[in-house]
Structure formats: C-alpha cells, structure tokens
Amino acid sequence: MTNGNLHHKKLGLTDEDVLNMYETMLMARRIDERMWLLNRAGKIAFVISCQGQEAAQVGAAYALDKTKDYIAPYYRDMGVVLHFGMTAKDLMLSAFAKAEDPNSGGRQMPGHFGQKKNRILTGSSPVATQIPHAVGVALVAKMQNKDYVSFVTLGEGSTNQGDFHEGLNFAGVHKLPVITMVENNKYAISVPIEKQLGNEKVSDRAIGYGMPGVTVDGMNPLAVYQAVKEAADRARAGEGPTLIEAITYRLTAHSSDDDDRQYRSADDIAQGRANDPINRFENYLKDTGVASDDLLNEMNVRVMNVVNEATDYAEEAPYSPPEHALKHVYAEGAGE
C-alpha cells in the first residue's frame, strides 16, 4: 500500500492548499452529520454517508483540474462534489428534495449528484453504471484531442458488476484518459470484503485490463492526492488509464435505513473511529505547524455557520409543484 510519511510540500502543495483540503473534508463531515440529525428528526427521508471517506474524496479531487476535468462520482462522494463547485446549500436542497435541488429538482434520492456547469455527470441508482459513462467522456477527449481527464469512483462491492469490467477493459484497450478510484470501505452494504473478492486487493485486477493498479491509504488525503496526480499526469500525457484503490472505513451504517450492528462488532467500529481521517489530518496540520487549535476552531465555526444557513434555506425552500413531475422526461414544445 502506498502511504508513508508524506509531507505536503514535497508534493508541491502549499500550507494554504492543505488547509483548504481540510476545510473541504470538514465541510463534508459537518453536512453529513447534520443530515443524519435531520433524518432522525423526520425532516429528510434518507441519508447515505460520506463519513470516513472524506480524505480519499478530497485528496483525489484536489489532484484534478476542476476547471476542465469531468467527474462521475458515486453516492458517497460529498467531498469530491464540494471541491468541484457544489455548495452546502445545493446538497441540503437535494436532501430536502426541493425544487431548487441542482441535481434533479428533488426527483432523485440524495447522493445522485449531477451538475452540468461543474462537469459532474449525473448518476443513477444501479451501482457501477457511472463507469461506462466516464469512459465514454474519456473517449471523446481522445477523439477530439482535448486536454482533460475523466475521473470515476465506486465502492469495492461495485467492482463485481459487469459495468466495471466492460468500462475498464474498453479504457485499457483504447488507452483512454480515465482514472477509476475504488473507495474500499470494507463492506458492500453488509457483505465484508473477504466475501466479495477472490483476490487480496481490488488493484490487482488492473493487470487484466492492461493498466497500472495501485492501493493507497485512503485515510490520508496526501497519499491519495499523490496517486491521483500521478494518474492524471499519465492520462494527460497519452499513457492511458489507471485503477486506484483507496482503503477507507465506513464510519456509519450503509445508510439511514441500515443497522450495521447486525454485521459489525463494536470493536470493529471502534477501531475504525480511532483512525478517523478528519482527526488524523487535523493532527498532521498541527504537527507540521500549519494550523493551531485556535485556527482549527475558527474554521469549524465558519463551516458550521455555512451548514446552518444552508439547512435553514433548504428547509424553507419550496417543493416542485406536482405538475412538474414529468418535466425533463418527455420532449416539450419549442422554446419551453
């Protein structure tokens, strides 16, 4: 596994860069925590959590060019979409299923991200369908000689879907500029990793598709940044796709409709929480002298103000009228 004692300056990152990375991770965590509270209060219907995977998401997103690259995120990727331009207000509008939800106007479940202006490809509920879409975007980049890469994520359970094989095989054959990152959180809902894979690592599958495969510490945003940056540089140089496996841990149940106490022990969950990526990166920032407790506390207050404002706005925002249920489904008259 690629990790080690990385220092951000050796990766070309400034102190400001890593503070921004941490703030994006923290924003994702605080939005997610608020959504769980809203769900338990009966105000929103469903939560599918990013907690424990923020480091992988934000480290990867920061290694891409958010001004031109395309992303096909999976449902937990709050950290990715926040970096690419979605806001706390956007995400709360989606959670409340309000008319202003930029993903689908309140039609889709939370976590079905999509925003054309930020090159976020719309996701659907069947897992792994985003992979052929991302590969198709990369094919266009190669055919038109465009300087962008496509980035797609999924959970390790989804690597057993046919879309994974078809997408990666096509990308490998045609040497397309696409990066596939598997966020291995050890569970496909309730199925543990040892009952999902016949081999040890997801990244071992890369050799079958003719592309490099690497496993990284997904709890360390700098390790993920390094791996994705190298993959992006390869892709832009015409050297083809990369498969990255980021080892993470899902700190919550699969979703708000799941009870993980039925299949995870208290010790298992405690060990995962002891390796919380938010705490780890916070300690790194303090140990390297980048941040003080006062600075981090100020950042948390600022983030919570944004989350509070977004929550209040989304809760008060109007729902779509019933007659709009079929908008964007059937063709409409010219100019409508």
Catalytic amino acids? Answer: 250, 254, 263
Map residue 204 onto helix, strand or coil.
helix
CA distance 73 to 66: 13
Q: Rounded distance, CA 294 to CA 275, Å?
A: 23
Residue type, 117: K
Contacts of residue 69, defined as CB under 8 A and 6 or more positions apart, other chains included, come to: 119, 148, 149, 150, 151, 232
**Dihedrals phi, psi of 88, to nearest 5 degrees:** -60, -40
Pinpoint the alpha helices (H) of the chain: 15-40, 54-62, 78-83, 88-95, 130-143, 162-174, 221-236, 266-274, 277-287, 293-316
Three-class SS of residue 63?
coil
Which position has the token pair 């209040």?
312
Q: What does the alpha-carbon distance between residue 232 and residue 219 come to, in Å, rounded to a whole number? A: 20
Q: Which amino acid is at 140?
A: V
End-to-end CA distance of the chain: 53
The answer to whether residues 203 and 215 touch, using CB atoms and an 8 Å cutoff, is: yes
